[in-house]
Amino acid sequence: MRTNKEFVSRIINDLKANTKDGRISRRHVLHIGKQKAGFLIAQKWDEMTLGKEEDLITHIDCLEFESLDVKRCDIFEFRRCDSLMRSVKKIPELIFGKNGPAILQIITVDGQGDYDYITPREYNRLQSRKYVIRDSKYFYVKDGYLYLPNSTTELLDISIITLDKKKSEDCSTCEDKDKGSKCKSVWDYEFVCPERFYDIVARDTLQELASV
């Protein structure tokens, strides 16, 4: 995968070759590029045609959770839970489609018990089927936080698709995570985009910026 710096440099060089305006914001170029890449990835996520593109997947190990008072939870449907956990830190902004957030896997740190996405409305419908709620593990995402209804799990490993690789590393509480990542610039991180769409994203980014 190419870095954010490589992507932005390509776009700026092409812009300079076709415009006399030398005032080009690198951050704005990256912002537009991420928008274009995110749109395409979300589309393919809904179509379930991303395939096994491992480069797109971000793994967050040891995501920490804390217990919430269910009766004070701002998600009304979860107030009937026996217990409720929420991630201590906000997770990176996810690719989100009609099928929900691009969270590929959530498991305990010892590799047990996969979790399934559920909306509060769907959870509410399951209330009359208590055995389903108790025997199954669910998650929900709101305002950047990951919620686990009817759970007491304090640590989880998650696999997601996000355009923000830097924030992903800040979420982990594992003691052996790469300390050197804190010194990395945003430009050194991968530009998240399937290789087969890279040229398309670059072209669309260039066209939008050139038309301004």
Task: Report mean pLDDT in 10-residue bins for the chain, 212 residues.
Answer: 94 83 85 96 89 83 95 91 94 91 90 87 78 73 95 94 87 65 82 94 95 78
pTM of the model: 0.85
> Which parts of 35-188 are beta strand (E)?
58-67, 84-87, 96-97, 100-101, 103-108, 116-117, 138-142, 145-149, 155-160
pLDDT of residue 176: 57
**Nearest-angstrom CA–CA distance, 97 and 191:** 20
Specify which residues 3 forms β-bridges with: 190
- On whether the CB atoms of residues 125 and 145 are closer than 8 A, the answer is no
3-state secondary structure of 98: coil
Ordered by start, the domain boundaries in the chain are 4-53+187-210, 58-160
CB 119 within 8 A of CB 34: no
pLDDT of residue 172: 79
Start-to-end Cα distance in the chain: 29
The confidence score (pLDDT) of residue 132 equals 55
